Structure 1
Amino acid sequence: MLKVGKYRCAFALLVFSVIACFSAPSVQLDTVQLAMVKQKIHEGVASERTLAAYKDLLGNAEQLLTMENPTVMDKSIIPPSGNQHDYLSIGRYWWPNPETKDGLPWIRKDGKTNPETQTDAVDRNRLSDMTNGIKNLSLAYYFSEDERYAQKTISIIKTWFLDEDTLMNPNLEFAQSVPGNPEGRPFGILDGRAIASIIPDAIDMLSTSPNWTADYDLKMTRWLSDYLKWLTESDLGKEEGEQENNHGSWYRFQVASLAHYLGDKPLVKKTVELTQQSLDRQLNSNGGQIHELARTRSFFYSCFNLEALTNIAVFGDEAGMDMWDFESEEGKSLALAINYLTPVIGGQDWAHASLHGADVSYIVPILARMSAHTDANEYSKVLTKAIAILVKKERETGSMNKVLQELSLKTTIGY
């Protein structure tokens, strides 16, 4: 039985996706909460949902044991550099130009994914397979302590990041490229967000495995340091950092995440300050996100941007900067932006373009973070309503919601 009401008195403890109070330099995971979930699983007192999520996690991990390790060397399109080790992807919303004989240069159709951009001819799917595989296997290892999962995680890491014959160079010079345009694009840096959010925590969880060596740790620190240097010093990185929409937010998340993991506290503080300053340029007076509302999937992108902003706010805690309650001179704040979205949970229609509707799942992680990091009880109440909507849909469809399922493995709160 799914009991949503149990959330009401416990949301102050909730942490989903990110928190900054770890003994180790974790990025996205609360090690204290994970330890409590692990204990409940092994004592057989975890909630029905948590046990089901754990079973699915182990099932996925078993399948991943036989997965061929992804590598950038397997793409069939060679990057403009001529170096197969350079990551290459094509912007998902770009299509052949019907006005030219050769279809070049491709043109943009916002919100409409071109299937040709998602093939194995480029690296996007392999990057996703790599990060998702590492995420699932490392978490399965943490909960089960089954060394097979650690060994496979390490094997994937070695193939993608460390082995000279198969590694990815620590840059995104040719990410989200456009056929017919030989120049690199800053927007492809968005592809790297999974590396910054998943890999540091996976390394943290692998630290207890006898198969994870000091040499691996040193080499991964070097790779992540080189990638952070590229982000902050390259022309493309600097240009992406100037973007005023979700691209700029996710760029700053990557910088803050890697700086946090590598112990560069001044850079963390600087990045949080830049994020605070960006709010005036991102939000209108009502809290609507100017650039995201112009998109054809406006609700998704509004939540997508807020996911990055609230992730950065967690790093602000470490830097002694309270971004949760921060308000600019123009009155712009995270709360203002979130409050612009929450009427949807109460049944109000979303007044902007949204190709796939206003899916409440998108906002749940954001509300969970706000509820955990602020004293405003309103977010706990709204989150309870949002979860109730998702649980109702679960009962109607007979399938568990992925957001709630993942949440159940990262917090001890039952529902």
Structure 2
Amino acid sequence: MNIKLLFSLAAVSTGAAVLAAGLPTIPENRIPTKATLAEQPMAKRALDELRKQRGALLKQPPISVTFDKKLPSPGGDPRDFTSCGPYWWPDPARPDGLPYIRRDGQFNPDFRSYDQTKIGQVGRRITAGALLWHFDRDREAAEKAGELIRVFFLDEATRMNPHMKYAQAIPGRTKGRVEGIIDTIAFADLVNMFVLLKESPALRPEEYRRLQQWFEAYTRWLLEDPMARKDFGKKQNHGLSYHAQIIAYARFCGNEELAAEHLKIVRNLIVAAVDERGFLPEEIHRTRSWHYSAFALQMIFRSVGAGKAQGIDLFAPGSESFRAIERAVERMLKSYLDPAEKWPYPLLNGELEPGAFANVVLQYHAWTKSESADRALARLPEKNFTLFNRIFYASAASAEE
């Protein structure tokens, strides 16, 4: 497989032209306008809620991996992203707790105090500012998003370095793991917001180019670093996340050839990841088998959106990739809707967690108008859908008042 990056300054500078008709992972027919919101009550409610939060958004301070850093970088640079594995705990049998031991599915609360939480925070705030600009041409909200972008990605003293060498470390065992790459999956959605902000007061053209160059550098690290390369071709949530990120970042930077290459890889991974019964064998052995099955499907749907935007349809009727996704989602819907169709694999808390599953159902319904998905959406609390998905994947049929 040819993994050579084809990026150049010319490719970066033409990225905006390539994406003039759409966003990196959102096809043009899924981008709502102020006028079309009337037909999408869920999206309209999301925007109304966002408008109410505007004042608080404008008061929020910038975020940086260098601020309040709990875990120093092993490399000595505070701009390095650092985090610990979420399911690793101090060993109670040892005075210093080292080395940490694994409890699959059980979150160590310290996990949320590292840099991973900052990615979620900055992503939500930039998304809010970008959407307020897109719908309302709110200059202050756009400028706030620009401030967040500069501090987190561009300013020399505070920007995150474009690598994940020290993510999901395990105290006493390793300084960083390939598993940590999934911590940046929110960036695969966030690049769409950068494009929405391109013609706003958020960033000067030179800053926008530097932002593309940051993602070019991160994509190069994903493709070339030996640790990162371990996720290449994995037919489970980490591998699917790895390729979904490369696709999104390549499209943001104007490298359609690289994106197409990895969309084809994902198409094959989807077929390999789902068995004939609709289960994902790499996920069902986990203590939270339902959650991780849904989580892997979330990664798949990011690539579905990007493929549709680029003209490589992973959801083409009758295709192997479409049939695999359909089997997997409909199998989960059966267990969610019908008590007789009990989920047969481990559930740590004995419950079908709605979080990741809700967003899968929303996107699946957007593409298929599945009757079972429609029934599930009527039961799923709206709080389980992300703002991003409520805006771009809501539809009239899935958003009853």
TM-score (norm 1): 0.82
User: In the alignment, is residue 160 of structure 1 matched against residue 152 of structure 2?
Assistant: yes
- Per the TM alignment, residue 85 of structure 1 is displaced from its structure 2 partner at its CA by 0.9
* Local SS of the residue matching 2:201: coil
Whether contact under 8 Å (2:166, 2:176) holds in the other structure is: yes
Higher mean C-alpha displacement, 212-221 vs 61-70: 61-70
User: In the alignment, is residue 251 of structure 1 matched against residue 247 of structure 2?
Assistant: no
* Matched letter for residue 369 of structure 1: Q
User: In the alignment, is residue 113 of structure 1 matched against residue 113 of structure 2?
Assistant: no
User: In the alignment, is residue 401 of structure 1 matched against residue 359 of structure 2?
Assistant: no
Q: Which of 70, 82, 85 does residue 88 from structure 1 map onto?
A: 82
Write out aligned runs for 1:16-415 (5 A): 23-29=20-26, 32-36=29-33, 38-39=34-35, 49-74=42-67, 75-119=69-113, 122-198=114-190, 200-279=191-270, 281-318=272-309, 320-324=311-315, 325-327=318-320, 333-347=324-338, 348-356=341-349, 357-360=351-354, 362-373=356-367, 379-390=369-380, 400-403=382-385, 408-410=390-392, 411=394, 413=396, 415=400
Unaligned regions of 5+ residues in structure 1, if any? Answer: 1-20, 395-399
* Matched letter for residue 35 of structure 2: Q
Summarize deviations over 1:333-391 as a string: whole Å, max 9, x none: 222222321212332322221234214554343344344445xxxx521121112223x
* Matched letter for residue 220 of structure 2: K
Query: For residues 371 and 343 of structure 2, what CA distance do their matches in structure 1 show?
Result: 20
* Matched letter for residue 335 of structure 1: E
Query: For residues 319 and 363 of structure 1, what CA distance do their matches in structure 2 show?
Result: 26
- Are the structure 2 counterparts of residues 87 and 313 from structure 1 closer, same or farther at C-alpha, using a change threshold of 3 Å? same
* Matched letter for residue 337 of structure 1: A
* Local SS of the residue matching 1:409: helix
Summarize deviations over 1:20-63 as a string: whole Å, max 9, x none: x9744513445555443x1256xxx5676554422311233321
Whether contact under 8 Å (1:296, 1:354) holds in the other structure is: yes
- Are the structure 2 counterparts of residues 279 and 35 from structure 1 closer, same or farther at C-alpha, using a change threshold of 3 Å? closer
* Matched letter for residue 385 of structure 1: R
- Are the structure 2 counterparts of residues 24 and 173 from structure 1 closer, same or farther at C-alpha, using a change threshold of 3 Å? farther
* Matched letter for residue 250 of structure 1: S
Whether contact under 8 Å (1:130, 1:156) holds in the other structure is: yes
Query: For residues 346 and 259 of structure 2, what CA distance do their matches in structure 1 show?
Result: 35
* Matched letter for residue 355 of structure 1: L
Whether contact under 8 Å (1:184, 1:236) holds in the other structure is: no
* Local SS of the residue matching 2:337: coil
Question: Which residue does 1:16 correspond to in 2?
Answer: none
- Per the TM alignment, residue 174 of structure 1 is displaced from its structure 2 partner at its CA by 0.6
Whether contact under 8 Å (1:60, 1:136) holds in the other structure is: no
TM-score (norm 2): 0.85
- Per the TM alignment, residue 254 of structure 1 is displaced from its structure 2 partner at its CA by 0.2
- Per the TM alignment, residue 118 of structure 1 is displaced from its structure 2 partner at its CA by 1.6
- Per the TM alignment, residue 217 of structure 1 is displaced from its structure 2 partner at its CA by 0.8
* Matched letter for residue 39 of structure 1: A
- Per the TM alignment, residue 287 of structure 1 is displaced from its structure 2 partner at its CA by 2.1
- Are the structure 2 counterparts of residues 362 and 123 from structure 1 closer, same or farther at C-alpha, using a change threshold of 3 Å? closer
* Matched letter for residue 60 of structure 1: Q
Unaligned regions of 5+ residues in structure 2, if any? Answer: 1-17
Whether contact under 8 Å (2:28, 2:309) holds in the other structure is: no
Query: For residues 288 and 267 of structure 2, what CA distance do their matches in structure 1 show?
Result: 25
- Are the structure 2 counterparts of residues 54 and 332 from structure 1 closer, same or farther at C-alpha, using a change threshold of 3 Å? closer
- Are the structure 2 counterparts of residues 334 and 211 from structure 1 closer, same or farther at C-alpha, using a change threshold of 3 Å? closer
Root mean square deviation, CA, Å: 2.6
**In percent, how many aligned pairs have the same letter?**
25
* Matched letter for residue 67 of structure 1: Q
Query: For residues 331 and 105 of structure 2, what CA distance do their matches in structure 1 show?
Result: 22
Whether contact under 8 Å (2:62, 2:148) holds in the other structure is: yes
The runs of 4+ residues in structure 1 deviating greater than 6 Å are none
- Are the structure 2 counterparts of residues 137 and 168 from structure 1 closer, same or farther at C-alpha, using a change threshold of 3 Å? same
Whether contact under 8 Å (1:297, 1:354) holds in the other structure is: yes
Whether contact under 8 Å (2:283, 2:293) holds in the other structure is: yes
* Local SS of the residue matching 2:66: helix
Matched residue count: 374
